[in-house]
Amino acid sequence: MDAIPGIGIKDYEKYIGAETVRRIRDKARQLRDLHIVNVNSTYYGGGVSQFLSSTTLLMNSLGIKTGWRVVHGSPDFFSVTKKFHNALQGADINLTDRKIQLYEQVVYENALRNHLDHDIVFVHDPQPLPLISHYRKDDPWIWRCHVDLTRPDKKVWDYLLRFIRRYDAVILSSRDYRQDLDIPQVFFMPSIDPFTITNKELTEEEIDERLEHYNIPTDLPLVVQISRFDRWKDPEGVIEAFKIARKKVACTLVLLGNVATDDPEGPAVYRSLMKNREERIIIISRQDSALVNALQRRAAVVLQKSIREGFGLTVAEAMWKGTPVIGGDVGGIRYQIRDGVNGFLVSSVEEAADRIVQVINDPDLRDRLGREAHESVRRNFLLTRSIEQDLDLIGAIKPEFRLSDAVKMYE
């Protein structure tokens, strides 16, 4: 298959250098006979779908056939899997037989519709996890969990283990999420694609057009949080921090979110926030990648005040644009932000408010944090790093290699 039109590995050379591009091409060339598939629960909304969209395109451009399947399910199914997601991040759940039966039945129906006879199968997060039970597994299956597994609910984790143990390896976003498993665990952080609509360069005129389209005022510094409408992102805490901060510095808050198809709690969270809307607290529910880009570039400061966070791609996106980020001192955010060097980590509403005031009032600090933030993403969190890690893992799990080789590389 010829390389697909559009962005390819050569376009990354200005960011990662010719030697890294050559190395990735050489690794991909050895794997061109493979057919790979990814399975997750939604085509849009949230970081996993963004990551898969770019990953599958770049892998195909390298000559490796890489597909992407999405689990289909009823609202009841996604209500159950959202509860599993929350439980993996530490929330309580009433794990009933009815929930289990619904979960397993819908996954079984998806197994009948999808013929996963590929050389390697990557299954993402808990929604499609039991698929492995319904195939004669002749080739490697990898489970990639993108959520924060610091303190998973024991009942749910023990239940899901019956499926997890069937996989050949597990990919987690951080060593902090390591579990007691008898199969290999590797630790790959997600990454961003600098060429998407969300991340590509914008002119000042293009930024102005998007903000004017949504009637977002720019006469005062913008404080922005962009994420799914999810309690784990603590939008209420963001609003509270903003209200404290604006007593000391004039500014405008923009909360931009979307509702993923696999997250039935999102609309309720959005509705609960609407009571806070006012002239200087703007709450928008839109799937508009150009607006995300414009806000992250024009913001004086971006917040990601999460309570739990597997990684937090919106942190890397804002940092790539040279915007200071104040993030919750949790999960994958800790691996992106070095406190006081390329952003700030906070553990309370009051700390967040203090940092908002500090960043807005100090242009030199904003510039320094922004430069360091951009460079740290260039070095560590561009898509090419993830692609190379995947190529190494894929190469190691081919029959003539041993999976332990990949584990040694990335543990």
Q: Which residues contact 224 (CB under 8 A, 6 or more apart)?
A: 253, 254, 255, 256, 295, 296, 299, 301, 302, 303
Q: What's the confidence (pLDDT) of residue 58? A: 97
Q: Cα angle vertex 327, ends 84, 389, to 5°?
A: 65
Distance (Å) of CA 163 to CA 72, 84, 137, 143: 19, 14, 13, 10
Distance (Å) of CA 118 to CA 38, 87, 133, 157, 200: 10, 31, 16, 28, 33
Structure tokens at 34: 């493979």
Could you give the dihedral angle defined by the CA atoms of residues 124, 185, 334 and 257, in that order, rounded to the nearest 10 degrees? 0
Structure tokens at 15: 């960011």
Amino acid at 341: V
Other Cβ atoms less than 10 A from the Cβ of 131: the count is 23
Amino acid at 44: Y
Question: Structure pTM?
Answer: 0.90
Cα 296 to Cα 163: distance, rounded to the nearest angstrom: 39
9-191+382-410 has which CATH code?
3.40.50.2000
Cα 49 to Cα 53: distance, rounded to the nearest angstrom: 6
Name the DSSP letter for residue 280: T
9-191+382-410 shares its CATH topology with 204-380: yes
Q: What's the confidence (pLDDT) of residue 411? A: 59
CATH class of 204-380: alpha beta
In a 13 Å sphere around the CA of 14, the CA atoms on its Cβ side amount to 4
pLDDT block averages, 10 residues each, the chain of length 411:
68 97 96 95 83 95 96 94 94 94 98 94 97 92 95 96 96 95 94 96 98 97 94 95 98 89 80 95 95 98 94 96 98 96 98 98 98 98 97 81 53 59
Distance (Å) of CA 283 to CA 127, 269, 357: 29, 12, 21
Amino acid at 82: K
Q: Which residues contact 316 (CB under 8 A, 6 or more apart)?
A: 190, 191, 192, 336, 377, 381
CB 410 within 8 A of CB 188: yes
Cα 320 to Cα 337: distance, rounded to the nearest angstrom: 12
Beta partners for 229? none
Write the Ramachandran bin of 215: left for phi over 0, alpha for psi from -120 to 50, otherwise beta.
Answer: left
CB 154 within 8 A of CB 180: no
Q: What's the confidence (pLDDT) of residue 398? A: 66
Structure tokens at 367: 């510039």
Going by C-alpha positions, the residue among 102, 119, 104, 106 that lies closest to residue 38 is 119
CB 66 within 8 A of CB 38: yes
Residue corresponding to tokens 């390819």: 8
Q: What's the confidence (pLDDT) of residue 2? A: 44
Domain boundary assignment for the chain: 9-191+382-410, 204-380
CB 388 within 8 A of CB 199: no
CB 109 within 8 A of CB 90: no
Q: What's the confidence (pLDDT) of residue 27? A: 96
Distance (Å) of CA 265 to CA 44, 80, 255: 16, 11, 17
Other Cβ atoms less than 10 A from the Cβ of 309: the count is 28
Q: What's the confidence (pLDDT) of residue 399? A: 53
Cα maximum dimension of the chain? 64
Other Cβ atoms less than 10 A from the Cβ of 317: the count is 27
Going by C-alpha positions, the residue among 345, 330, 338 that lies closest to residue 372 is 338
Structure tokens at 68: 């992407």
